[in-house]
Amino acid sequence: MNNNSFKKYSLNLHGRLVEIDQPWVMGIINATPDSFFSGSRTMDAEGIAERAKAMVVEGADVLDIGACSTRPGAEVVTPEEEIKRLDVAVKAIREAVGNDVILSVDTFRADVARHCVEELGVDIVNDISGGDLDPEMNSVVAQLQVPYIVMHMRGTPATMQQFTDYDGDVAAIVLEELARKIDILHQMGVNDVIADPGFGFAKTVEQNYRMLACLETFHSLEVPLLVGVSRKSMIQKVLNCTAQDALNGTTVINTIAMMKGAHILRVHDVKAAVEARALVALTSKMTNN
């Protein structure tokens, strides 16, 4: 992270203005039995509470709660089941760590997003489909006036790897498609948008690393940039390892992302990301002295 590449942004969280003045670490909490990394699965309230407390102690800035797995081949649960799981998870987290911790809900369903914001007080909506899987999402987040993470994906989690044929440079095309969505969101009155290039979603291994190499270009969107590579197959396939053994690779890519100005790192392993952030920040300070 150098001063030239990291631009500060502010987010309005229910009337509270919060500044992203250093890379945020977003801890993943999966209230699902089938997320791709077994270490992140937490179904019962006690396990969710313990995971949330540990992440906050380790330095998480945001907790991202998902209750419908989006890994390839995962069973898509009903909206009712998703809401039921989220009710349990958010209540357990709030009781464990209080109301000041920023919570994000990982959902592509507008009704679920509305429930989580209006009934559970969740601060941010994180949509892997960028509004493509639910045509009501854009208007709902505009009504809710919460920060919205728009991720790039093609197809659905079950079909996305059939849509990796980009007619040109993948980074330029993803950037253009995100820019179009962000413009529509701004026109609809969504003030705080966060862009996620969607590493691993409808991209080949090579395309993921092309996007990483060109990550600085995404700052032209003029919104905070989220990077989510934690333990993904783009690491596993290069290093010939499993998700369980992909922490070191994750940390390396998170470090590269921070040096290219990423604003939010979405991770399973908070402690490692926080330590990487500290070392990158110190290096940046020495570089700019």
Structural contact between residues 37 and 243, judged by C-beta atoms closer than 8 angstroms: yes
Nearest 5°: phi and psi at 60? -60, 140
Distance CA 86, CA 180 (A): 31
Q: Which of 85, 232, 260, 277 is catalytic?
A: 232
If DSSP codes are grouped into helix, strand and coil, which group holds residue 15?
coil
Instruction: Write out the two tokens for 65.
Output: 């709660």
Backbone angles phi, psi at 267, to 5 degrees: -140, 155
Known catalytic membership, residue 266: yes
Residue type, 129: S
Taking the CA atoms of 238, 244, 248 and 253 in sequence, report the sign of the dihedral they define. Answer: positive
Active site residue 285: no
Q: What count of residues does the chain have?
A: 289
Instruction: Classify residue 225 by its DSSP letter.
Output: B
- The residues, any chain, with a CB within 8 Å of residue 250's CB and separated by 6 or more, are 229, 230, 231, 232, 235, 267, 268, 269, 272
The residue from 85, 109, 266, 277 that is catalytic is: 266
Separation of alpha carbons 228 and 151, rounded Å: 10
Upper half-sphere CA count for residue 261 (Cβ side, 13 Å): 21
Contact between 31 and 44 (Cβ < 8 Å): no
* Helix, strand, coil percentages, rounded to 5, for the chain: 45, 15, 40
Residues with active-site annotation: 232, 266
